Amino acid sequence: MDKLIITAAVTGSLTTREQNPNLPHTPQELAQAAIDSCNAGAAIVHLHVREPSTGKPIQDIDLFKETIGLIRDGCDIIVNTSTGGGPGMSHDERIAIIPALSGDARLKPEMASLNAGSVNFGIFSRRRRAFVLDAVQLNLWSELLRFADTMTEHGVKPELEIYEAGMINNAQFLDDVGALVAPLHFQFVLGVLGGMQSTVENLIFLRNSIPRGSTWSLCTVGLDIFSLGTVAIVSGGHVRVGLEDCIYISKGVLADSSAQMVEKMVRISREMGREIATPDEARSILGLSSQREIAQ
Give the pLDDT score at 294.
43
Give the pLDDT score at 291.
42
Give the pLDDT score at 123.
82
Question: Alpha-carbon distance 186 to 159, whole Å?
Answer: 6
Question: Alpha-carbon distance 25 to 52, whole Å?
Answer: 5
CB distance 248 to 255 below 8 Å: yes
CA 184 vs CA 157, 258, 260, 288: distances in Å: 8, 26, 29, 12
Class of residue 85 by CB neighbours under 10 A (exposed 0-12, middle 13-18, buried 19+): buried
Residue closest to 200 by CA, chosen among 183, 212, 218, 213: 218
> Mean pLDDT, consecutive 10-residue segments, the chain of 296 residues?
97 96 98 98 98 96 98 98 93 97 96 96 84 87 98 97 98 98 97 96 98 97 97 98 98 98 98 98 88 44
The DSSP bridge partners found for residue 81 are 47, 112
Q: Which CATH superfamily is domain 6-295 in?
A: Aldolase class I (3.20.20.70)
Give the pLDDT score at 127.
83
Give the pLDDT score at 37.
98
Give the pLDDT score at 88.
87
Helices (H), 17-165: 27-40, 61-74, 91-95, 97-102, 141-153
Domain-by-domain residue ranges, the chain? 6-295
Identify the helix (H) or strand (E) that includes residue 201: helix 200-207
Question: Alpha-carbon distance 2 to 237, whole Å?
Answer: 9
Question: Alpha-carbon distance 64 to 61, whole Å?
Answer: 5
Enter the pTM of the model. 0.96
Question: Alpha-carbon distance 91 to 278, whole Å?
Answer: 33
- DSSP letters of 207-265? HTTSPTT-EEEEEESGGGHHHHHHHHHHTT-EEEESTTT-SEEETTEE-S-HHHHHHHH
User: CA 100, 257, 279, 180: dihedral to nearest 10 degrees?
Assistant: -50
